[in-house]
């Protein structure tokens, strides 16, 4: 096990923000986690788990031991009622989606091109175009950062919510900072049923005249839509959607609509409504505005970008200004998606 010191983290976060890890260990197999836990010095030190760094805002250097998750591996097991796609936590999420399709396994196509690693996907309960990770998760292998013991957790105990999970929670029973995901198994059910109840996908169907697309076609559409809306982190630093879409009660939604009839909103099964955070931000005039090197993406107000030399503090200052602006006009407090360190 190699312990690297004073590691530049700029290449390891999609925002491209400057920061240094005092100590970093690359986790390339589950045994590496146990080696860290058993180490006389590292075992006692605080840990910081780093996957693809695509949901992260670094505002300072990291004193905790950084565990850079790089566990590989992809496989498919076919069962009578489903396929099980198994992936190492260090595999990029999009690679896992593309691999499943290449193996003839549909079911993950709506989640194409979401940045980050497989291991980070359950933490955030990633979702897009009508599908969330919780809809496809079978189980995860998790290693306790205190004991080094591995357990396999079924999806039913992961306490999934909107961009939330037990792995992100710090309260009673929460596993944030206490464990690391090493392997994920995804369940793609048979028979495959396309998920097309989303406006952008409906537009693609209308434009192409394809009424019954196969999984590959849905995958291609999702990639096209995301590339048109979201900047490529390899060219423009960003963390994807910066704010969660707020959920309000039916009464709150009616009140807002009475003042802003054009607000974009979606009904939810529980009777509440989800509001489009990007629309709220755009309505407050933030698109294209900046604080230092951090800016609101001119093509999508939900995305904050690094114009070249932004620092984490500038991203946070911009985000807080947006929150205050939206709250002042709509009475809604936007919640950031990325973890701020």
User: For residue 269, what pLDDT is reported?
Assistant: 86
Which single residue is written with the structure tokens 């910081």? Answer: 48
CATH 3.30.43.10 in the chain, residue ranges: 3-69
CATH 3.10.310.30, applies to 74-189:
no
User: For residue 41, what pLDDT is reported?
Assistant: 95
- Name beta bridge partners: 106: none
Which among 108, 129, 117 has a CA at the least distance from the CA of 230? 129
Annotated active-site residue in 241, 311, 314, 325? 241
In angstroms, the CA 138 to CA 152 distance is 10
In angstroms, the CA 229 to CA 110 distance is 15
User: For residue 334, what pLDDT is reported?
Assistant: 98
Which among 229, 174, 177 has a CA at the least distance from the CA of 200? 229
User: For residue 49, what pLDDT is reported?
Assistant: 97
What tokens were used for 189? 């059910």
337 catalytic, yes or no? yes
Annotated active-site residue in 70, 86, 132, 337? 337
Q: How far is CA 146 from CA 46, 181, 305, in A?
A: 10, 14, 36
Dmax over CA atoms of the chain, in Å, equals 63
Q: Which fold has domain 237-340?
A: 3.90.78
This prediction has a pTM of 0.92
Which single residue is written with the structure tokens 């009616």? Answer: 254
CATH 3.30.465.10 in the chain, residue ranges: 74-189
Q: Is residue 82 helix, strand or coil?
A: strand
341 residues of the chain, pLDDT tens digit each: 899 999 999 999 999 999 999 999 999 999 999 999 999 999 999 999 999 999 999 999 999 999 999 999 999 999 999 999 999 999 999 999 999 999 999 999 999 999 999 999 999 999 999 999 999 999 999 999 999 999 999 999 999 998 999 999 998 899 999 999 999 999 999 999 999 988 899 999 999 999 999 999 999 999 999 999 899 998 999 999 999 999 999 999 999 999 989 999 989 889 999 999 999 999 999 999 999 999 999 999 999 999 989 999 999 999 999 999 999 999 999 999 999 99
Predicted confidence (pLDDT) per residue in 223-248, tens digit: 999 999 899 998 999 999 999 999 99
Q: Which fold has domain 3-69?
A: 3.30.43
User: For residue 199, what pLDDT is reported?
Assistant: 87
Annotated active-site residue in 26, 34, 136, 163? 163
In angstroms, the CA 277 to CA 16 distance is 24
Could you tell me if 81 and 89 are in contact, meaning their C-beta atoms sit under 8 angstroms apart?
A: no
CATH 3.90.78.10 in the chain, residue ranges: 237-340
């Amino acid at each position: 096990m190699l312990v690297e010191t004073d590691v530049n983290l700029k290449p390891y976060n999609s925002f491209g923000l400057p920061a240094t890890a005092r100590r970093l260990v690359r986790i390339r197999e589950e045994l590496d986690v146990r080696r860290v836990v058993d180490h006389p010095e590292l075992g006692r030190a605080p840990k910081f788990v780093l996957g693809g760094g695509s949901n992260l805002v670094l505002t300072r250097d990291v004193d905790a031991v950084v565990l850079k998750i790089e566990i590989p591996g992809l496989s498919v097991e076919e069962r009578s009622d489903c396929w099980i796609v198994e992936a190492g936590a260090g595999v990029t999420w999009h690679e896992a989606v593309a691999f499943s399709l290449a193996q003839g396994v549909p079911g993950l196509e709506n989640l194409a091109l979401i940045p980050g690693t497989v291991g980070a996907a359950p933490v955030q309960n990633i979702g897009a175009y009508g599908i969330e990770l919780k809809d496809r998760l079978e189980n995860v292998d998790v290693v306790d950062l205190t004991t080094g013991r591995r357990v396999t957790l079924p999806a039913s105990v992961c306490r999934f919510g909107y961009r939330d999970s037990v792995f992100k929670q710090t309260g009673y029973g929460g596993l944030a900072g206490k464990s690391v995901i090493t392997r994920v198994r995804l369940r793609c059910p048979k028979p495959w049923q396309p998920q097309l109840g989303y406006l952008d996908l409906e537009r693609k169907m209308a434009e192409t005249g394809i009424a019954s697309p196969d999984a590959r076609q849905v995958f291609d559409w999702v990639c096209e839509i995301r590339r048109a809306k979201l900047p490529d982190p390899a060219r423009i630093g960003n963390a994807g959607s910066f704010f969660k879409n707020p959920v309000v009660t039916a009464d709150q939604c009616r009140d807002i609509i009475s003042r802003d009839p054009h607000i974009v909103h979606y009904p939810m099964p529980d009777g509440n409504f989800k509001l489009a955070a990007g629309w709220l931000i755009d309505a407050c005039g933030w698109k294209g505005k900046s604080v230092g090197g951090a800016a609101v993406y001119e093509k999508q107000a939900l995305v904050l970008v690094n114009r070249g030399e932004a620092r984490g503090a500038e991203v946070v200052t911009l985000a807080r200004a947006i929150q205050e602006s939206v709250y002042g006009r709509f009475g809604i407090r936007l919640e950031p998606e990325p973890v701020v360190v």
